[in-house]
């Protein structure tokens, strides 16, 4: 289901099914999933994020996923302080269990509106994403970066201006190449 959402096939129906699947799940399970995912983040990707922050770049997360998971993963990796904000949907917990989902970023268009509201100049923006909900940001930014860890994305299917990478470490190389 997550892949279908990433590709934009399911749109809002995914969020309803996602919540139906997770309703009643203990908050501790979200923590366990975050721990497992954080373990999978390669050290070079962690170092790339730290380096971007040390170089003075503004970093933020704008996701149609859940902030609860994103923030926990970043915190476990020691990276949460590198990000000025995490804009995403949030679980509603009741008695330590998932009871609902507050849709704060329901679509790719919503992500773009959030970023625009922050006064970010698209000419200086590097938009990094991995799926269909990132299209509006990629189209808006001067440097759209598609992260494809699987290697399944075909280079010929993307506009010439899009950069296709397999890791966050490669994003650092792109930014360095731009003089940052």
Q: Above 80 in pLDDT, residue 156?
A: no
Q: Above 90 in pLDDT, residue 74?
A: yes
| pTM listed for this prediction | 0.87
Position 1 confidence tier, pLDDT thresholds 50, 70, 90: very low
Parallel, antiparallel or unpaired: strands 97-102 and 85-94: antiparallel
Distance CA 146, CA 12 (A): 23
Position 167 confidence tier, pLDDT thresholds 50, 70, 90: very high
**Residue percentage of the chain with pLDDT more than 90:** 78
Q: What is the CATH number of domain 2-177?
A: 3.40.50.1000
| Mean pLDDT within 81-109 | 96
Segment among 47-51, 71-75, 89-93, 129-133 with least mean pLDDT:
129-133
Q: Above 90 in pLDDT, residue 83?
A: yes
CA nearest neighbour of 65 among 2, 139, 145:
2
């Amino acid at each position: 289901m997550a892949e279908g959402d990433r590709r934009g096939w399911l749109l809002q129906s995914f969020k309803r099914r996602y919540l139906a699947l997770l309703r009643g799940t203990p908050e501790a399970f979200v923590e366990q999933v975050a721990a497992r995912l954080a373990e999978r983040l390669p050290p070079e990707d962690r170092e790339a994020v730290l380096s971007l922050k040390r170089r003075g770049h503004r970093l933020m997360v704008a996701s149609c996923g859940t902030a609860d998971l994103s923030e926990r993963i970043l915190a476990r990796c020691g990276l949460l302080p590198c990000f000025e904000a995490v804009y995403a949907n949030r679980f509603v917990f009741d008695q330590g269990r998932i009871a609902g989902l507050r849709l704060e970023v329901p679509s790719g268009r919503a992500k773009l509106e959030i970023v625009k509201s922050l006064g970010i100049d698209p000419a200086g923006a590097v938009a990094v994403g991995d799926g269909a909900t990132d299209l509006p940001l990629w189209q808006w930014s001067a440097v759209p970066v598609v992260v494809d860890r699987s290697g399944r994305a075909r280079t010929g299917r993307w506009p010439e201006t899009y950069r296709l990478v397999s890791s966050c470490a490669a994003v650092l190389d792109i930014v360095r190449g731009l003089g940052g």
